[in-house]
Amino acid sequence: MPREKLLIIGGVAAGMSAASRARRRNPELDITVLEKGQHVSYGACGLPFYISGQVADANELVVYTPEYFREKRNINVRLGVEAKEIDPGRKQVLAVERASQPVAIPYDKLVIATGGVAGGGEIPGSDLPGVFTIGDLAGAIRLREFLDEKKPCRAVIAGTGYIGLEIADALAKRGIEVVMIGKSSQLIEGFEVEICARVEEEFLAHGVRVVNNSSVRMISPGTQGEIHVHHGETSEAAELVLLATGIAPRSAMAEAAGIPLGASGAIRVDDRMQTEVPGIYAAGDCAETRNLVSGKAVYFPLGTTANKQGRVAGENSAGGHARFEGIVGTLGTSAFGLEIARTGLTMTEARSAGFDPASATIRTLSRAKYLGGRPLLATLLWDRPSGRMLGFQVAGEAGAAKRIDAAAVALHARMRISEIQHIDLCYAPGFAPVWEALLVAAGEAIKKSRRD
Amino acid sequence: MPREKLLIIGGVAAGMSAASRARRRNPELDITVLEKGQHVSYGACGLPFYISGQVADANELVVYTPEYFREKRNINVRLGVEAKEIDPGRKQVLAVERASQPVAIPYDKLVIATGGVAGGGEIPGSDLPGVFTIGDLAGAIRLREFLDEKKPCRAVIAGTGYIGLEIADALAKRGIEVVMIGKSSQLIEGFEVEICARVEEEFLAHGVRVVNNSSVRMISPGTQGEIHVHHGETSEAAELVLLATGIAPRSAMAEAAGIPLGASGAIRVDDRMQTEVPGIYAAGDCAETRNLVSGKAVYFPLGTTANKQGRVAGENSAGGHARFEGIVGTLGTSAFGLEIARTGLTMTEARSAGFDPASATIRTLSRAKYLGGRPLLATLLWDRPSGRMLGFQVAGEAGAAKRIDAAAVALHARMRISEIQHIDLCYAPGFAPVWEALLVAAGEAIKKSRRD
């Protein structure tokens, strides 16, 4: 009897997690990973640190090499092989290697882990030299070569999401003057106004110019080698343009194969990471996930979720019964020494999920004042009728972002604000104030809801 | 009609929290605080940082001055007034001021916030010059004067609890050679062996000498001005001795007044911080609290709990209806750059609470390896039959201790290990690994419990 074949399309976070977990579950399985690029299993979230130079060598981002997977885990990693078509009827994937004719690769179980596409490619002129997106390690390597060779002085970043922020920080660390252009009314999307204002303040203080309420329409070459970025009625000249307008799921191949997508455009999956086509799983930035606060299927592509989904897809595609219930919308980042993080829903998301949300913003300290405590800003969101906590957001210096974890657990447990006020969080003057931000915010929320 | 009188005995964390909250609740109340010392409202947890010199001036530890309470909050703070007897029949407290005859101070409601006593005073010779306990700010000021004047080179610390550890760090920062003597088998009590071993390793690496399994029997003066600390069959010579063998509740006055104590010797209270004598509340280091994991009344004196209990006692003694349900046993500290923290029960505590506990210890990183991630050690405890999480402990460098908060919330929510593995904790390479210690430990716990 031939060994059962597990085929995985994509070899970054979700794909390699799936492969590794499947191998652990079933030592007999024939596991093949198709990766169109030349790298697998790297920390994509570390790309900004490679661009800044804080990570000297791209190989440092690689967790395990293809050789490691082949030799130690008996996983057949095929680099430079791009899947072009999924044929669920024949249970095969058509793939090309170095512009060859497509070859058919058969499978018994398939995991789609094709990831996401960095937005901006649709902007006219996005293919000009000096215009980059940060989609994968190869793209980051090209950008760093450009930075090292051309030594640009001025960059425009299109997009003010968390990736835009991280790239701004990375470029500023290299001494590059940065202009950011975003369509939202404040720097950083997905956070409440007080947090956004704090971020914008920090960016301005670090010399970043921020243009809100504007979208990049077109990019055109100048006469002196510069690039013109046209937005609204005006334009900015730069030697480098970064497109970071968001991430879209790479789901077209799945859709073409008749695998249903969700409203978000990402592949629809259940809590076993199964698509609606039997034997086909999806995981990572190409797939949806469930937001456990709103109960809705959402597209919220992040490395940590990709790893979890990948493991579950790997376990189940190898005969297991794992579940991934979903996320609560936790996200954190830092730029210019300011850490920000969120979990749960924003006011806008909460309203569209049918809640009647309210919010309270408080200011406290990172640790005892007498040990140099620094300002910590936090916003708590809750549902008025039920008192259920809906979200939490923080901004502050080192140590601020991980404050979000306690709130994330409270969201998983569907806690009410009245249950949060006296939670026994860790206090010692060297790393916390007596009253943690989450407790202060819950106290403020209770006060506010009594006044309502 | 005369204003209702609220009398509070003790003006540190619990007492002043009670006074402030009562004032907010009832602007008409006549509020008096009796404080036998000369300081109120200071951060007792900051005393080691004052001893080390990191906090230059004792006044930096003071949150609000007596004048502030008098002028801004209309709270009558009486310094140097020591309560000697509570007379619940006459509703009065007998107190002395500067060796005066006792005067009767009447009350309608009473809050007892007499705090704890640093252990070691029962050891013969504990009253010798050069022998100190760290009970209050006045004691810390005396110790620092001694350090500044006598410049001791060698200190013995009796007690290896978290206060002993903090003092060892403080003295080592001043260049003093430290010997620690404790009766437990490893440095730091209340943690599992792997964490204890990590702490001991760090202390030894910093030149601290550790004597386990031994108790200080007696202290005697030497002939050259040195002090001899006798323990087991041997003795240590030093110029400074610190007694930090634990904290006992200062509850004798309450007991003498017929207020029932719990088995721990601390004042028994309900979730409104009421004692069993109507109109009398207790809060802080003199009172018990409920451990929500074991369901048992415990003595677990900490500043953060004192603040919460004080608020609730203040609210209720002023006519409110607040509740303090209890703690989950969260405690954190740091010494020599190593942070340690725990929440929940230890194996021993879990067994004596009737659980059938198991534990799993894992090693992971504080953040991405390519951004200098440092080792993080964690132990998860759970109940075998139910799979309920019972505790979590961590040790690692900066940022490690606050990792405990997510676990503390999970304990409040009575989560099972199966519910913890995929919690949506915050990831970014600058401050977290993809798989947080708590998630890795839960995964390991699940694996172990399947093998059982």
Q: What is the dihedral of CA B280, B285, B290, B291, to 10 degrees?
A: 180
Q: Which pLDDT does position A190 carry in this prediction?
A: 92
Q: Are B366 and B202 in contact (CB under 8 A)?
A: no
Q: Residue A452 pLDDT more than 80?
A: no
Q: What is the mean pLDDT of chain A?
A: 96
Q: Does A432 touch chain B (CB under 8 A)?
A: yes
Chain B residues 327-356 with a CB less than 8 Å from chain A: 327-334, 339, 341, 343
Q: Which pLDDT does position B452 carry in this prediction?
A: 75
**Overall pTM surpassing 0.90 (yes/no):** yes
With beta carbons under 8 A apart, name residues in chain A contacting B271. none
Cα of first residue to Cα of last residue in chain A, in angstroms, is: 69
Q: Which pLDDT does position B252 carry in this prediction?
A: 98
Q: Does A18 touch chain B (CB under 8 A)?
A: no
* pLDDT tens per residue, range A351-394: 999 999 999 999 999 999 999 999 999 999 999 999 999 999 99
Q: What is the mean pLDDT of chain B?
A: 96
Q: Does A450 touch chain B (CB under 8 A)?
A: no
Which of these is catalytic: A45, A153, A286, A426? A45
Residue of B nearest to A47 (CA): B429
* Nearest C-alpha neighbor of B302 from the set B274, B261, B331, B334: B331
- Taking CB atoms and an 8 Å limit, are A425 and B412 in contact across chains? no
Chain A residues 254-273 with a CB less than 8 Å from chain B: none
With beta carbons under 8 A apart, name residues in chain B contacting A399. 398-399, 402, 431
Across the 452 residues of chain B, what is the mean pLDDT of every consecutive 10-residue run? 93 97 97 97 95 97 96 97 98 93 97 94 95 93 97 97 96 98 92 97 97 96 95 96 96 98 98 98 98 98 97 98 98 97 98 98 96 97 98 96 98 98 97 96 96 80
- Taking CB atoms and an 8 Å limit, are B425 and A368 in contact across chains? no
Q: Are A89 and A128 in contact (CB under 8 A)?
A: no
Measure CB to CB from residue B330 to each of A327, A415, A425 and give the nearest one. A425
Q: Are B279 and B108 in contact (CB under 8 A)?
A: yes
A83 CA: distance to closest CA in chain B (Å): 27
Residue of B nearest to A335 (CA): B430
Interface test with B, best of A367, A422, A424, A427 (most B CBs within 10 A): A424
Interface test with B, best of A271, A321, A409 (most B CBs within 10 A): A409
According to DSSP, the β-strands at B247-249 and B116-118 are antiparallel
How many CB atoms neighbour CB A444 within 10 A? 18
DSSP-derived secondary structure letter, B48:
H
Q: Does B128 touch chain A (CB under 8 A)?
A: no
How many CB atoms neighbour CB B300 within 10 A? 21
With beta carbons under 8 A apart, name residues in chain B contacting A167. none
A153 labelled catalytic: no
Q: Does B390 touch chain A (CB under 8 A)?
A: no
* pLDDT tens per residue, range A389-426: 999 999 999 899 999 999 999 999 999 999 999 999 99
Q: Which pLDDT does position B189 carry in this prediction?
A: 87
According to DSSP, the β-strands at A247-249 and A103-106 are unpaired
Q: Does B447 touch chain A (CB under 8 A)?
A: no
* pLDDT tens per residue, range B68-78: 999 999 999 99
pLDDT band at A272 (very low <50, low <70, confident <90, very high): very high
Q: Which pLDDT does position A397 carry in this prediction?
A: 93
- Taking CB atoms and an 8 Å limit, are A332 and B428 in contact across chains? yes
Q: Which residue has the tokens 């913890």?
A: B420
Q: Which pLDDT does position B98 carry in this prediction?
A: 84
How many CB atoms neighbour CB A449 within 10 A? 16
* pLDDT tens per residue, range A318-337: 999 999 999 999 999 999 99
Q: Residue A2 pLDDT more than 90?
A: no
Q: What are phi and psi of A289, to 5 degrees?
A: -150, 170
A118 CA: distance to closest CA in chain B (Å): 18
With beta carbons under 8 A apart, name residues in chain B contacting A412. 413, 415, 419, 423-424
Q: Does B99 touch chain A (CB under 8 A)?
A: no
Residue of A nearest to B289 (CA): A424
